[in-house]
Structures are given as structure tokens and as C-alpha cells.
Structure 1
Amino acid sequence: MLDLYKNIKQLREEKGLSQDELAKLTGYTSRSSIAKIEKGEVDLQQSKILAFAKALGTTPGKLMGLTEFDGIQPSTTLAAHFDGDEYTKSELDEIRQFAEFVKNKRKDSTV
């Protein structure tokens, strides 16, 4: 959780915000609260992490130092949606055949 506090300070400085300004944006009454947070002396509730992320223009995950996928490989979904009148039936058949060709080519290369 230490990354969270370092990232708050770093992003605040990058954005040119004072501790007073960040305090106001996140619902605190004084800069001393922000100073304590940046030193890691205060545990933040989830709602406050969200407030800091919003004030600093980032996501809670990035603020906490998590990687984009946190070690999980993203799945890839590829889909095509057609209105039905932009391609002829023959062209749609050709698109389907090409997609099948690509899948089969992949299968052939793993053998």
C-alpha cells in the first residue's frame, strides 16, 4: 500500500497542486491531513482512494500502483457487426471464409 501514498504525492506535484488544494478537492479540511497521507501515516478508505483518483485524474488501480492487468493476461474479443445492407450476401460469405481461413492457418502452424 506504500505505493499509494508515494503516487498521491508524485501525482499531486506533477499536477502542480498544493497540499491545501488537494485537501479541498478530496474533502479534507487542511493540508496537514494530506501531509500525513503522503507519509503513509493514515490508512485511506476506499471512498477516499476514489476521491484522490478523481482529483488527480487517474484510476484507483493506477493510484495504488497496480499494473493495468495486475498479472492477468487480457482476453481478446474480435467481433464484426454489419447492418445487413452494407455488404452483399456474396461479400459476407467471403468475409466468413476469410475468417475461417485465418483460424485454420493458425491451427496448421501449431502442428
Structure 2
Amino acid sequence: MKVTTGARLKQIMSERNLKQVDILNLAEKYFKDGVKISKTDLSQYVNGKTEPRQEKLYILAEALDVSEAWLMGYDIDRERISIDERLREVRENAPTYAAHHDGEDWTEEELEEIERFKEFIKNKRNK
């Protein structure tokens, strides 16, 4: 069962001894193009009244240095991985993909899906 964003926010707040105002202060430097998170917004997210839209979820994930998918409640690593790091991983694993290639060309999206699946299998093995 997927955990809520509110539960993830509460978890981070507990682990890092943060208050909602602390999260807002961390998030402030990521406010841009008129997209901000108000005290009311954050309170509603934490209490499970509403879920943040994508642009606000991005701000929270950046501010808390966690992955957006983890913050959304998916059972994946919370570590935030940059696009550059993901591309490096794909390039490093290109021979692996080629070794299992069955004649089809993989799109970037398919390669990312393969990477996510690999991580899922690794995490499952380590439990």
C-alpha cells in the first residue's frame, strides 16, 4: 500500500526534528515563477487534506533532498538522484543493455524504466 505525502512529510519532520516553518524556510530558495508553498498549503499536505501539485512537490523534494517519488509515497529509495547522475548510470550500464538487446531500440523512457526495475530488484534482494 502506498504511503501518503503527509505521512512522508511527518516522517521527515520527526527524523530531522523539523517543524513546518523549518520546511518552509528550506523551501523558500526554490520558489520561482510565482510558485510558492504557503503555511496553509504545507499544513494541508502534512495533515493529508490535500496532495501537492507537481511543481510544489518538486519544491518540497528539493528542499528536503529526497526523491519526488519517495515523497509521493512510493516504496523506493528516498535518495534524490540528479539527471546527470542518472545519465551517467545509463551510460555505464549501456553494455549491459546491449548484451540483453533483442533487436529493438530502447527509448530514453524505456531505459529509465529498466533502471527503476533494476533498482526494485536490488532493493527486494537486500530486504
Q: Which has the larger radius of gyration?
A: 1
The alpha carbon displacement at 1:22 in A equals 1.1
Task: Write 1 or 2 for the structure with the bigger share of helix.
Answer: 2
Structure 2 Cα separation of the partners of residues 79 and 29 of structure 1: 47
RMSD value over aligned CA atoms? 2.8
Structure 2 Cα separation of the partners of residues 28 and 14 of structure 1: 22
Where structure 1 has 5 or more consecutive residues not aligned to the other structure, the ranges are 70-76, 81-111
The residue number in structure 1 matching 2:20 is 19
Point out 4+ residue stretches in structure 1 off by more than 4 angstroms. Answer: none
The residue number in structure 2 matching 1:107 is none
Q: 1:47 aligns with which of 55, 58, 62?
A: 55
* CA deviation vs aligned residue, 1:30-83 (integer Å, no higher than 9, x gap): 3x43222111112311011111111111100111122339xxxxxxx4749xxx
Where structure 2 has 5 or more consecutive residues not aligned to the other structure, the ranges are 28-35, 78-92, 97-127
- Residue identity over aligned pairs, in percent, reads 21
The residue number in structure 2 matching 1:38 is 46
Q: 1:28 aligns with which of 30, 37, 46?
A: 37
Question: Secondary structure, in 3 states, of the residue corresponding to 1:17?
Answer: coil
**TM norm structure 1:** 0.52
Report the CA distance shift for 1:22/1:10 in structure 2 as closer, same or farther (over 3 A). Answer: same
Correspondence list, 1:94-109, <5 A: none
Report the CA distance shift for 1:19/1:39 in structure 2 as closer, same or farther (over 3 A). Answer: same
- For these two proteins, the number of residue pairs brought into alignment is 73
* 2:4/2:48 contact within 8 Å kept: no
The residue number in structure 1 matching 2:74 is 66
**TM norm structure 2:** 0.46
